[in-house]
């Protein structure tokens, strides 16, 4: 082989190295682009999820605020003597509320307004509906109170005992309920 032949081979050899390095460079670039795409896609997904959670929280807070404002207006109406108007307003608010917590609170408020005006059947229906959403010391105690006012001793005792035995926050009314149960049981004997 002559000198010219060697010079001619050298560029071919460098060309193959250069081609291989360009090939690796392209593959590397494609990998980098894919990683960036996955990273950006993940960021967009997480951002959208946070937005959905934020929107849900905002909706719940808005529903709670509306329910509280409704409760205040209806309590004022009942206090001013328009109990029927207040109860009707509670029914409309309950029907239009999709948030379960707000619905339960409105039902409890309706039950208390009805109880204060001695509308015992209406009070019992509202508090039982609230209790179906979430049963706790407060709803069970209010059910017992309504039964007690109705003269239904058996159910009053049953629900006072359910309230006393309910788990959760301790309540100052437990000793009063225990005393009332003892009193009611003494009347039965």
Q: Is 63 exposed, middle or buried (0-12, 13-18, 19+ CB in 10 A)?
A: middle
Per DSSP, the residues of 81-148 read T-HHHHHHHHHHHHHH---HHHHHHHHHHHHHHHHHTT-HHHHHHHHHHHHHH---HHHHHHHHHHHH
Closest to 125 (Cα-Cα) out of 138, 141, 143: 143
Q: pTM of this prediction?
A: 0.66
Given a cut of 60, whether residue 30 has pLDDT beyond it is yes
- Residue 158 to residue 163: CA distance in whole angstroms: 9
- Residue 142 to residue 158: CA distance in whole angstroms: 12
63-134 is a CATH 1.10.3470 domain: no
Q: What is the mean pLDDT of residues 141-162?
A: 94
Extents of the domains making up the chain = 63-134, 136-189
Instruction: Out of 113-117, 127-131, 135-139, 163-167, pick the least confident.
Output: 163-167
């Amino acid at each position: 082989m002559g000198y010219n032949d060697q010079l001619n081979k050298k560029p071919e050899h460098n060309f193959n190295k250069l081609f291989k390095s360009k090939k690796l460079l392209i593959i590397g670039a494609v990998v980098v682009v894919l990683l960036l795409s996955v990273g950006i896609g993940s960021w967009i997904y997480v951002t959208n999820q946070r937005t959905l959670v934020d929107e849900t929280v905002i909706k719940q807070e808005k529903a709670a605020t509306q329910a509280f404002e409704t409760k205040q207006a209806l309590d004022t109406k009942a206090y001013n003597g328009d109990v029927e108007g207040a109860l009707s307003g509670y029914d409309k608010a309950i029907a239009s509320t999709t948030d379960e917590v707000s619905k339960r609170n409105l039902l409890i408020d309706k039950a208390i307004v009805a109880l204060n005006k001695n509308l015992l059947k209406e009070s019992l229906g509202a508090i039982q509906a609230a209790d179906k959403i979430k049963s706790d010391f407060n709803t069970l105690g209010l059910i017992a109170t309504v039964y007690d006012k109705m003269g239904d001793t058996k159910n009053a005792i049953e629900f006072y005992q359910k309230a006393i035995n309910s788990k959760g926050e301790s309540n100052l009314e437990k000793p009063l309920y225990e005393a009332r149960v003892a009193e009611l049981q003494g009347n039965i004997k």
